[in-house]
Amino acid sequence: MTRTIGTFPVQGTTRRDEHGLLLVLDRRLDGHDTFLSGILDLGQGAAAVRIFTLDDVTVLRPLETIEAPSPVWAGILHLPHGLRPRVVPADLADAAQAGSRDLDALDAAELRYALTFLGEATTAQIRMARIAAIVSALPPAGGDAA
C-alpha cells in the first residue's frame, strides 16, 4: 500500500450513476485535499478510490472494479496526503488589518470559501480585487459598528 498519512473510519451508502459505483459518505470529509486518490478498505480487500468533496458531501469513486458493498457500508479510508493548510495569506491578513476588519469572525466554512475564492485568482489584478471583496464583507475588528 502507498504511504499513508491519515486513516479514517468512514461509513455511507452506495449509489450508481452512468459511470458506475459511487460510495457516498454519511459525513463530509473536511480539511483534506479533494479530487485526489486514497485507499478504501471495506473488509474484503483494499481498493483505490478518487475522493470528491463538494460543499456538503464527500463521494468516493472506485478507480477499479470492486464488488458493490451493501446499501449501507463501513470501512477505513487511507489517505496518502495530509490536511490542507488553512493559512491566511499575508496580503489578505494585511488588507484586513489595514481596513480594521476581523478575519477571525469567519467560521471554518466561510474561511474555506474565502481562501478558495482568493486562491483561484489567475492574475495579480484579480487577486487584489478579490482581497478587496473579501475584506469589505468582513465585520469590523473589535465588534465596532460600521
Give the start-to-end residue ranges of the domains of the chain. 6-79, 90-141
Contacts of 65 (CB under 8 A, 6+ apart): none
What does each of the 146 residues of the chain score in pLDDT, given as a tens digit? 445 567 889 999 999 999 889 999 999 887 655 557 889 998 888 899 998 888 788 999 999 888 877 899 999 998 876 555 578 999 999 999 999 999 999 987 788 789 888 888 899 999 999 999 999 999 999 865 54
This prediction's pTM:
0.56
- 45, three cell numbers: 480487500
Tell me, what's the pLDDT at 144?
A: 56
Closest CA to 89 of 109, 117, 108: 117
**Cβ atoms < 10 Å from Cβ of 111:** 15
